Structure 1
């Protein structure tokens, strides 16, 4: 008569397991607001996000809120040390609009665009057609680069570090603007070129430094890579929410691309080997 007892025990364990899984899923889902699209963003990270709503990530957030038929709500925190801990993980929002693929601090959605580092030089200068850091014309020149960024390794490999001018990587943009400082130094002739992340350089040159040209560095084959796939970041474990965002990305990719291209973001294919729509 032990068999019926065993069956009852197995049924009880199965029910308990199902309840545990259901409760776990409910707790995960409950962290995401159903009343608004809650976004964490840097209030002074132009051209990506601003408190005034002028960044391209602001435009993407507005588009996603409209698709979800929810009001848009922001929680502001500088994109510096502690950003995820003090925003997304603190449950002050449910999504970060732009985050590099593969970052362990968040659960990444599918990527919604790929871009690359770029070389910025005077549009009418002798370097306007340079498209690789191995180009001999760059030797001995003064190049600006964000300290610790991937292009610095390529510069060292090609003997370009000697006269390079480093600019800070992690700052509170409400008080410091190293990228603007770099471009101003280039405009003033204190630099011969600047190496910047494309989603920053493209919009800035389009809007504020029209005398400069932006060339994506798509020919660098040695590591570290200079192209990155950008996703949205949600809390670890919130897979249902991530799948919902993935669906929105998939169904609205053309509209996403249009917003980014209009902002001046250089979009590449997902392997960083050609500009979107211009591959050979």
Structure 2
């Protein structure tokens, strides 16, 4: 009897353990995501009205309905900032994923040497804080201090600035994605490669037709993370803004939100913009996630055919 009671107690404890483990994450999510999001939504339906005539001696908060959202939708500068963000993302996403995949495949070859040093060297930029990395690259771009041709090439020009910003983002993100893909490659059974070699496949064919097909879930996950990071572009252009006339205070949507809130002191408009922008990011993440899930399923079918 005592044994059955003790077993029942251990079973109840084990059933509660998963909930206790995820409880800190849930609390942090509520505290730093849900609560600020709800407060931003509350602020987005309000406006600050100044009273007292020309002197503006007083102000009061009034319910604005959808006025702030109407202003956001008709804000041409916001749409321009969104286009600039997409242009940088069009460079960042494919460059990050393809370079990470290339490095992972090279490190996984049988002829690779000094792989531990190479992994550390490629991953190290990811450990550098984004603001510090941007400052370092900013001095590399400046003509007065540039050792990479800044005296002859205008890295901060109206067109080249997109490549300059994207380069910093790629430099910092490739290492993390490479580690994810390389770990997936190392988890594959070596018998698959031996079978491919017996069938007469070259190392290049094994890499492109076998390895890439089997780690498609990892590639899809890295692509999703990279897309979400590109949509949240802020540190790089905001840090480079004092160094370049081509980067305005509203160059990307997050800079626009920051400027509205803390430069123009229009916290309500900034809240409305942030709500619209968050909804857009959520929609994009759902679409990209669905595409990644479809690709993941195709990878599973390939794996079953291989077995």
Structure 2 length as normaliser, TM-score? 0.23
Tell me which protein shows more strand as a share of its residues. 1
Structure 1 length as normaliser, TM-score? 0.25
**Greater C-alpha radius of gyration:** 2
